[in-house]
Structure 1
Amino acid sequence: MASDPSAPIDYIEFTSPDVEATQAFFTEAFGWSYIDYGPDYKDIQGAGLGGGIERGPLRAPLPVLKADDLEAMLDKVKAAGAEITQEIFEFPGGRRFQFKEPGGTEMAVWTTADDDHG
């Protein structure tokens, strides 16, 4: 097992058709707070790991890894057998891509604008 992973788990993203109800539940049950990025996305604060709630149909939570070199990590996951489900795209603060590992779990890798080497 690697002692210095090149892409540690950094974030987990939840989807909900009712972001407000999910946010209210997480706040009441767990005491989490949020940064509001509009009606369709809330950035979770105080959960011990980065996270977000995105408005949309329910799906399994999305584990998001962080890499310093996004293009190199994209090449690495392709070489390891991943199916790319969303090519690299930009969002406020960084860029990311999504993939399914050979067992079928969808995951993402992101980099901040400051870390991006691409």
Structure 2
Amino acid sequence: MTSVKINYIELPARNLEGTKQFFSDAFGWQFIDYGPDYIAMQNAGLDGGFYRSELVVETAKGSALVVLYSSNLEATLVKVKAAGGRIVKQVFSFPGGRRFHFSDPSGNEYAVWSE
């Protein structure tokens, strides 16, 4: 039987330089530039990249939600805000933990959760 699993994710970004700066400042991720319209992320937990686009990822539009894990939700919330992220859902509880949603400077929505 063939094994198939999620291996790579690509997300839109209006501003690639701003995206690199935000995720570097907020989470310590690193990036490799592949031309003027694509950057690959490193140290993010899953391989992937950002491509230049005016489109955005929002759950209200039916987009999939990338959910990050943090061992310290409050400290991560502070870092997201300090890096220029916008909180779109304040911290709330759900079965199994707590989380908040934010958008990056390009307008893409993400969530961060913790136990």
Q: TM-score, normalised by structure 2?
A: 0.49
Q: TM-score, normalised by structure 1?
A: 0.48
